Structure 1
C-alpha cells in the first residue's frame, strides 16, 4: 500500500507550441497538507486541472493511492475522491446553503425533492466541519469565509479524500483565514489529504507539512517548512533574495503634492491629517475596517466627506466626484481590480485608454492608430506581458492586470496615485515588478499613497507610514521606527479605561 495519496511522475502538457508543464514530478503524502507555490504562469493551475479532470495530460504517470489513473473528465476525478475549490467560488448566492451543497443531485432524479432529507444531510455535512449555521440560510447572507466552508462541505458530501484549494485566502481577512485554517486541520485529522496553492509565504509556514516550488512548468524544489526560510522559497521561485525585492528608496522633494486636513466622514473617518510630498511613497497601514480604503474613496471623489480640506500642489481643491479628482491629477488603483479597476471583457488597449479617449478622438471618432501607439508605449514602459493589445484583460495574469490598471492612470495627466492593496493576489515575481514601477514613479516626482495589509511590504517600500485604527490616524512612523511591532501597536484598537 502506497504512503502517498498522489504520485506525479514526469507529467507534461502542451497547448500548441506553449509548454505549460514539462516532466513535472512530486509526491503528496496521505493526510498531509501539501503546499504548492510558483509565479503566475508556472503551471500550478494547469496541473490542478489535470488532477481534477478538466485537462488531459500529454504524457507521464499519475497515481492516486498507489493506482495509476487517466482522468478524461471531472467525473472520473471525483470518483477517485478528488475535489477542487477554485479561487472564484462556484456557488449561487440566491439559493440556500443546503441547495448549494446538493445542487448537483437535488432529488436524485425523482420528480419531487425531499427537502427535509436535503436539509438534514446538509446539516450533517456542516456539523462535520464544526460549522454552526442553518442549512436554510440564504448563501448570499454569509461572509466569504463561510461561503468557502459551504464549498468545502459540498466537496466533502462527494466522499472527497483529496481536497485541492486554489488561492483560498485571496479575498479573506485575518479572522476569516483563521476559520479556514482551523477547518483544514480538522479535515486533515480525519485523514483528508490537502493540496494548498497560495502566493502568501507566511501561510505556507503556518499550515503546510511540505512545500513544492514550481517554475516554468517544472518542479524545482520540495522543501520542509520546518527547516526552510522565505528567502529559500523566493530564491527557488524567482532567483533573487527577499531583500532585493524592494528597490533603493529615493530622496523625496520638499514640496507637498497632496495635503489632507481634518477630513471627516460620518462615523467612518475622524480628523484625518496627512501629507504626501513629490517623489514620496507614503504607506497607509491598519487592520481591516480601520478606514484606509474610505480615505482613498474620499480623496478620489467616490464618497463625499462631511468636512475637511484637500490641497493639491499647495492649492485647495474641491472634489465632489471622480471626474473632478481626475481633473485635479489624482488616480486610484482600487483594491478590487476585477470589479473596480479593469473591465475584464474589454481589450487591453481599451482598458489602457478608457480614461483618456478624448486624446485620441475627434468629433466622436477614435483614431485607433494613435490609441495603439499610446498603448504600445505603456506596454513597453510597464513591461506588460501580453499576447496582443486586442486580447481581453481577462487573458492576463493578476500582476499584468494590475499593470494595465496602472497604465490607465499614467495615460492621464495625474501626478498623484493612490494604490489600494496593489500586490494582492499576485506572485512574488510580479510583486517585485510592481515595487519597481512604484519606485520608478517616485523617482519621476509622482506622489504615491500605498495602502497595504502586508506590513513588510510597506516597510520595504515606503518613505513614511501612517497607521490607522477605528477611523482615525494613530501615528506616523519613519526610518528605524518603521517596524511591524510599532505598526501593530498603533493599529490595534485602544481599550477604553473603566
Structure 2
C-alpha cells in the first residue's frame, strides 16, 4: 500500500482507563473503496478504537490522519464533520420522526428561517436510493424494522459525504434475507469509494465482505493482512492467543425429573397451542426464523405477556404466568435477547445490576446492606469470571460478553430451577461464546433446566438435548439430539419440508 492509497491512518494509538490499558500502540490503515474487518474478542479494544475515531473519547497518545491531514476530534461533531460516521448494532434514532427528519437531524436544509421540507425530502430520497431502500422518506422510523433502520443510518452517513463508515455488529439482529440485502449495501459503499471498517463476530460475513483484516488482542494489534491469505482458524488463533480446537462443550448425562410443564400456551396474535415439558439437567432448544414467535412465547412464560393464556406448572405446582413475580417465585429466570435494553441497566454499577433481582437477600430489615450486596457481587464475579475493573464500574463500561455475564449473574444469584436464555450469545465474540457455553454446561450438570432460544443453528444443534421448531407462531416439529439434521430443521422452520424430525418425530 503506497502512502497515496491511504484514506485513514492511525499511528501508535494509546488509551487507558485508570490502570486498564484499553489500547496499546495500535496502527491501522484503510484505503478508499476498501472493507477492513476489525476483529477481536470482547475487551480486545475494538469499542475503544471506535470511540476515539468517532470523537466520543479523546485520544491519549498517537495520531489520526484522514486523506493525509492530521486530525484531532474534540467531540463527535468534529468526527462527523471530518467524514467519519458509525452505524452501531443498537440503532439510536428518533422513533416518532420521519426517515427524512432522522437523516438530516441537526442539519436540516433551511430556506431563510424555516426548514426547506421539499429540499430535505428530495435529498433524503436520493440518499435512500443510494442504499437501495424501498420505503418513503416520509415513513416514521417507528414503523420500520431493525434492518430498515440500519439503512436509514447508512443513508444518513452517505448524505453527509462520509469518507469512512464504521459498521459495528450491524447484522446481529437481522434475518438471513436482511443480511443478504446488507451485503449489497456494503458492496455499494465500497463501489462509491467509501472506506468501511467492519466489526463483526461472524466469520462468514468477514470472508464474504472484507478485503483485509486487523486483529486486536488485549488492546494491541496482533495480526493483519489480506483475507485471501488467511483462514478462520488462523484468525481464531490470533484472537485468542491460542488454537481454538473446540467451541462447544461436551454436555453429558441424561435429563431427570420433569421441572416445567407448559400446556396450551396461546396468544391472540403471536402464537397458538404450544406445549412442552422441560426436565432437570436438560437443554431444550427453540429454533425458528425471525417472527416465528419464539421470544414472545418465552416472555409469556415469564409473565411479561398478560394476554397469553395456558397452564404452567413447576414441579407439578401451577403458577400464574400473568405476573413476573409469580414466575420468579416459581424459580424461573429469564435472560432476554436485548441485554442492554431489557437485561440490565447500563448506568447502574455491576454490583447494583447483580443484586437487582434479589434485593431481599441483600437487605438488613428495610435497608440495603452494602456488605451483603458486595459479598454477592464478589461471589458472582468470581463464579462467572466477569472481567470488570471494579464492582462499581457502570455496566455500560463492560464489553458485550461481560455485560451478558452480569445479566446471567443477576438471575443465577436467585438459584433458579429453570433458566430461559433468549439469544444468549448475540453480538459476542467466539471467546465470550465459549465462556457462556461452558457456563451453560456447568449449570446443566448441576441440575438446572435450560431453555435455549437461538437463531444460530449450530448452537442449538450442539448444545440442546431436544430442539422444538416454531413457524408463524406454531410448534411444527421436534428433533431429538440423535436424529438432528440441519437441513430438516431449516426445512421445518421455513415450511419447505415435511412436519417431522429425528427420533422424536412430529409435534
| TM superposition score normalised by structure 1 | 0.91
Structure 2: how far apart are the matches of 1:223 and 1:184? 20
Structure 2: how far apart are the matches of 1:467 and 1:242? 30
Structure 2: how far apart are the matches of 1:86 and 1:449? 29
Alignment map for 1:377-392 (pairs within 5 Å): 377-392=379-394
Give the conservation status (yes or no) of the 8 Å contact 1:6–1:64: yes
Give the conservation status (yes or no) of the 8 Å contact 2:461–2:481: no
Structure 2 match to 1:446: 448
Alignment map for 1:112-131 (pairs within 5 Å): 112-131=114-133
Matched, 1:70 2:66: no
Equivalent position to 1:161, from 154, 160, 163: 163
Of stretches 427-436 and 6-15 in structure 1, the one that deviates more from structure 2 is: 6-15
Matched, 1:470 2:472: yes
Alignment map for 1:50-199 (pairs within 5 Å): 50-65=52-67, 67-73=68-74, 74=76, 77-78=79-80, 80-107=82-109, 110-199=112-201
Structure 1 match to 2:280: 278
**What SS does the aligned partner of 1:245 have?**
coil
Alignment map for 1:307-322 (pairs within 5 Å): 308-322=310-324
Structure 2 match to 1:236: 238
Structure 2: how far apart are the matches of 1:341 and 1:389? 18
Give the conservation status (yes or no) of the 8 Å contact 2:464–2:481: no
Alignment map for 1:361-380 (pairs within 5 Å): 361-380=363-382
Give the conservation status (yes or no) of the 8 Å contact 2:109–2:119: no
Give the conservation status (yes or no) of the 8 Å contact 2:488–2:497: no
**What SS does the aligned partner of 1:355 have?**
helix
Give the conservation status (yes or no) of the 8 Å contact 1:230–1:242: no
| CA 111–434 in structure 1, closer or farther in 2 if over 3 Å, else same | same
**What SS does the aligned partner of 2:4 have?**
coil
Structure 1 match to 2:429: 427
Give the conservation status (yes or no) of the 8 Å contact 2:256–2:281: no
**What SS does the aligned partner of 2:443 have?**
helix
C-alpha displacement of 1:491: 1.0
Give the conservation status (yes or no) of the 8 Å contact 2:363–2:372: no
Give the conservation status (yes or no) of the 8 Å contact 2:300–2:308: no
Structure 2: how far apart are the matches of 1:287 and 1:134? 27
Structure 2 match to 1:37: 39
C-alpha displacement of 1:109: 8.9
Of stretches 331-340 and 92-101 in structure 1, the one that deviates more from structure 2 is: 92-101
C-alpha displacement of 1:363: 4.1
| 1:59-104 deviation digits (Å, cap 9, x = unpaired) | 4454434x14232335554454333223443432222222222223
Structure 1: how far apart are the matches of 2:372 and 2:56? 41
Equivalent position to 2:202, from 200, 203, 206: 200
Give the conservation status (yes or no) of the 8 Å contact 1:278–1:445: yes
| CA 399–495 in structure 1, closer or farther in 2 if over 3 Å, else same | closer
C-alpha displacement of 1:182: 1.6
| 1:315-361 deviation digits (Å, cap 9, x = unpaired) | 44443311111111111111112222112222322222222222233
Total equivalences in the alignment: 495
Of stretches 45-54 and 342-351 in structure 1, the one that deviates more from structure 2 is: 45-54
C-alpha displacement of 1:298: 2.4
| CA 49–360 in structure 1, closer or farther in 2 if over 3 Å, else same | closer
C-alpha displacement of 1:223: 4.4
C-alpha RMSD over aligned residues: 2.6
Structure 1: how far apart are the matches of 2:362 and 2:56? 43
| 1:338-390 deviation digits (Å, cap 9, x = unpaired) | 22211222232222222222223354222332222222211211112223323
C-alpha displacement of 1:485: 2.0
Q: Which runs of 5+ in 1 are unaligned?
A: none
| CA 79–362 in structure 1, closer or farther in 2 if over 3 Å, else same | closer
Q: Which runs of 5+ in 2 are unaligned?
A: 499-507
| CA 330–177 in structure 1, closer or farther in 2 if over 3 Å, else same | same
Give the conservation status (yes or no) of the 8 Å contact 2:236–2:243: yes
Structure 2: how far apart are the matches of 1:213 and 1:68? 25
| CA 410–3 in structure 1, closer or farther in 2 if over 3 Å, else same | same
| CA 480–248 in structure 1, closer or farther in 2 if over 3 Å, else same | same
